[in-house]
């Protein structure tokens, strides 16, 4: 299993401040980015896995929506998340 509870706690602690802060936009974007990276690697080996391809596109859309929300509410937080996660636009 690639996404254990310890990995999630580490992601939330690193990007959300505490491991209990699971709802902040920064921690959600970080979790989506981790999952997107994993699915991208899976699709490199399994090119015809269209279910995973659809799930990947859904995750990218959710991450984009959260990033747009951050961009409109607090541009400094948006820029910090983009820089830390190395997401290019």
Domain ranges of the chain: 26-85
1 has pLDDT over 80: no
Q: How is domain 26-85 classified at the CATH fold level?
A: Helix Hairpins (1.10.287)
Helices (H) and strands (E) in the chain, counts: 4, 0
> What pLDDT does 64 receive?
97
Quick: pLDDT tens for 15-48.
Answer: 988 888 888 999 999 999 999 999 999 999 999 9
Question: What are 21's two structure tokens?
Answer: 């802060």
Question: What are 39's two structure tokens?
Answer: 């699915």
Average predicted confidence (pLDDT) for the chain: 93
């Amino acid at each position: 299993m690639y996404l254990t509870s310890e990995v999630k706690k580490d992601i939330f602690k690193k990007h959300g401040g505490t491991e209990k802060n699971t709802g902040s936009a920064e921690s959600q974007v970080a979790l989506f980015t981790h999952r997107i990276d994993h699915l991208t690697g899976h699709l490199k080996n399994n090119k015809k896995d269209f279910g995973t391809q659809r799930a990947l596109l859904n995750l990218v859309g959710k991450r984009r929506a959260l990033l747009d929300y951050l961009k409109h509410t607090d541009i400094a937080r948006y820029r910090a998340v983009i820089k830390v996660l190395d997401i290019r636009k």
